[in-house]
């Protein structure tokens, strides 16, 4: 039975020290895949490598051995035995569910983050380039992309920003509209302040850096693409800035109401957005009451992040439902690719046509005796049998080949055999296929998506 398998590790199971050693650079993906494929254990292979996960997806006639192989390959790169607690593996229907969840960003470190879908698509393209994607993985990933799209459109999983820096940016946009050409003043050298300043810099604001130590200011300014300004010019800089990020290590308030009163007057009430990331705080709470001055401290931003995260968590359960629906759709497609039900459905379709045509022809034959009738019926049957003989032989032979699924899929499409029809046939198997099909149906019910081989 050809089946899906995935072996990998992610932020859930492995620390970054391990993940970074396994990561594959994008330009090496195709080569790695060819190497995997040449080992002969896999019919298809696809490698996803991001900073949060490294996973090998494959289909194989012998999934257990394939999983074992993949594990060994991963272990080989780590140059030390990988504990089972670091690597996970799934088989059958669980692989499908896993891909759909990964692509929909349900398995991401930050649920709902948008990058993962692009990364999965790149991995898919690389695998196509390496020629290691066939019918099964192809259909599986195409449907994973569709699932991700549905999740994005039908749930609010990607709504709201969840990092402090980007929340600061969004707030600034809600105050100033366009940030292009606005000025950010970074006051102090805290790490979070630096990352917020970077995010703002990316939206097109100019950046000025003020620090008690000019040297440190200089270094920070170079790092973030800004300009260092001497500390003595603080009040002038405050008057010119639109966004102030305060993250000094000072024990006392630096932006006091007395200082800010003069600043507000000089800046003629232009709005000022102050982000106070310092602990202890740099901005006197009274400053927040001044007209056109908006102060957010680290708790405020953190709270927004948490609210947005909890919204995402709520939406995630709706997304899981969508994933389940899509998994079910995939399973029914997969089941339709089994040989036996396809043959049954094909016979039934042809037989039906013969019977219908007979029904139409008989009334037009005046005085046809029952023996005439029998002759015509026999002719219909034999016509069907003769017409189907060669396709059936080819189908049975071809189903055993690696691309068997493709052939069956083609037949289904050529003769418009629907998936439901097949499912119904599986429920009432017949002939020598009996045991096989029964076994398949049972496998499908318990989670495998195996294919007759």
Partner 1 sequence: MKAGLFIATALLYALACVLYLFLLTRGSDKAQRVPGTVFVAALGAHLAFLLLEAPAPGELPLADIAQVLSVSSFGIGIAFLLASYRFDVTILGAFVAPLSLMLFLASGLGSSYAPVPPRVQSAMLTLHIAANVVGLIAFALAFAAGVGYVVQEGLLRRRQLGGVFQRLPSLDVLDTMGLRAVLVGFPLLTFGMITGTFWLLQAGGSEFYVSQALGLVAWAIFAGVIVLRVAAGWRGRKAALGTMMGFVFTLLVLAGYALRAAGGNA
> For residues 300 and 377, which CB has a smaller minimum distance to partner 1 in the complex?
300
Q: Does 283 bind partner 1 (CB under 8 A)?
A: no
Q: Does 300 bind partner 1 (CB under 8 A)?
A: yes
Q: Helices H, strands E: what count in the chain? A: 17, 10
The single-letter DSSP state of residue 282 is S
Return the residues of window 144-163 that contact partner 1 according to CB under 8 A: 153
CB of 240 to partner 1, least distance (A): 14
How, if at all, do strands 53-60 and 44-49 pair? antiparallel
> For residues 46 and 241, which CB has a smaller minimum distance to partner 1 in the complex?
241
> For residues 4 and 296, which CB has a smaller minimum distance to partner 1 in the complex?
296
> For residues 268 and 386, which CB has a smaller minimum distance to partner 1 in the complex?
268
> For residues 178 and 370, which CB has a smaller minimum distance to partner 1 in the complex?
178
Task: Report which of 314, 358, 334 is spatially closest to residue 426, judged by C-alpha positions.
Answer: 334
CB of 177 to partner 1, least distance (A): 4
How, if at all, do strands 227-229 and 243-246 pair? unpaired
State residue 18 phi and psi, 5-degree precision.
-80, -45
> For residues 294 and 333, which CB has a smaller minimum distance to partner 1 in the complex?
294
Angle at 182 between CA 178 and CA 183, to 5 degrees: 150
- Active-site annotation holds for 140: no
Convert residues 109-148 into a mask of x (bound to partner 1 by CB under 8 A) and - (unbound). Answer: ----------------------------------------
CB of 296 to partner 1, least distance (A): 8
DSSP string, 148-192: HHHHHHHS-TT-S--SHHHHHHHHHHHHHS--TT-EEEEES--HH
Task: Report which of 396, 411, 412, 414 is spatially closest to residue 453, judged by C-alpha positions.
Answer: 396
**Which of 142, 292, 321, 393 forms a contact with partner 1 (CB under 8 A)?**
292
Task: Report which of 313, 328, 164 is spatially closest to residue 247, judged by C-alpha positions.
Answer: 164
CA distance 229 to 218: 8
Q: Does 176 bind partner 1 (CB under 8 A)?
A: yes
CB of 277 to partner 1, least distance (A): 16
CA distance 270 to 453: 74
**Which of 40, 177, 367, 431 forms a contact with partner 1 (CB under 8 A)?**
177
Return the residues of window 250-269 that contact partner 1 according to CB under 8 A: 268-269
Helices (H), 29-162: 29-38, 63-78, 93-103, 115-130, 135-154
CA distance 235 to 357: 94
Q: Does 271 bind partner 1 (CB under 8 A)?
A: yes
CB of 181 to partner 1, least distance (A): 12
Residues with catalytic function = 51
Chain residues that interact with partner 1, rule: CB under 8 A: 153, 171, 173-178, 268-271, 288, 291-292, 294, 296, 300, 303-304
């Amino acid at each position: 039975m050809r089946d899906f398998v995935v072996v990998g590790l992610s932020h859930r199971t492995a620390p970054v020290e391990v993940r970074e050693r396994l990561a594959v650079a994008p330009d090496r993906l195709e080569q790695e895949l060819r190497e995997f494929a040449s080992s002969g254990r896999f019919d298809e292979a696809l490698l996803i490598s991001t900073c949060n996960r490294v996973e090998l997806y494959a289909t194989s006639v012998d999934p257990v051995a394939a999983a074992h192989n993949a594990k060994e390959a991963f272990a080989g790169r780590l140059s030390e035995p990988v504990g089972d607690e670091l690597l996970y593996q799934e088989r059958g229907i669980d692989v499908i569910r896993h891909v759909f969840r990964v692509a929909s960003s349900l398995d991401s470190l930050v649920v709902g983050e948008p990058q993962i879908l692009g990364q999965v698509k790149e991995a898919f393209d690389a695998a196509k380039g390496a020629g290691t994607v066939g019918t099964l993985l192809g259909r599986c990933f195409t449907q994973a992309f569709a699932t991700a799209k549905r999740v994005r459109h039908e749930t609010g999983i990607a709504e709201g920003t969840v990092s402090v820096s980007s929340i600061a940016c969004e707030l600034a946009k809600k105050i100033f509209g366009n940030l292009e050409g606005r000025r950010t003043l970074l006051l102090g050298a805290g790490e979070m302040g630096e990352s917020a300043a970077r995010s703002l810099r990316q939206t097109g604001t100019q950046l000025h850096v003020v620090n008690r130590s000019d040297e440190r200011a200089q270094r920070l300014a170079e790092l973030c693409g800004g300009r260092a300004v001497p500390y003595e010019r603080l009040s002038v800089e405050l008057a010119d800035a639109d966004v102030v990020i305060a993250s000094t290590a000072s024990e006392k308030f630096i932006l006091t109401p007395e200082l800010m009163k003069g600043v507000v007057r000089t800046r003629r009430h232009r709005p000022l957005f102050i982000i106070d990331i310092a602990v202890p705080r740099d901005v006197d709470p009274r400053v927040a009451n001044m007209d056109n001055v908006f102060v957010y401290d680290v708790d405020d931003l953190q709270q927004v992040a948490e609210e947005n995260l909890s919204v995402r968590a709520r939406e995630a359960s709706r997304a899981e439902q969508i994933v389940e629906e899509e998994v079910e759709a995939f399973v029914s497609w997969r089941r339709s690719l089994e040989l036996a039900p396809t043959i049954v459905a094909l016979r039934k379709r042809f037989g039906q046509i013969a019977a219908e045509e007979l029904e139409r022809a008989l009334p037009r034959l005046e005085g046809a005796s029952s023996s005439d009738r029998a002759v015509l019926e026999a002719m219909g049957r034999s016509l069907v049998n003769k017409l189907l003989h060669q396709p059936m032989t080819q189908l049975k032979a071809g189903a055993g080949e690696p691309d068997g699924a493709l052939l069956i899929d083609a037949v289904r499409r050529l003769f418009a055999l629907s998936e439901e029809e097949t499912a119904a046939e599986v429920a009432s198997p017949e002939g020598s296929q009996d045991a096989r099909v029964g076994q398949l149906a049972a496998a499908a019910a318990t989670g495998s998506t195996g294919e007759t081989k």
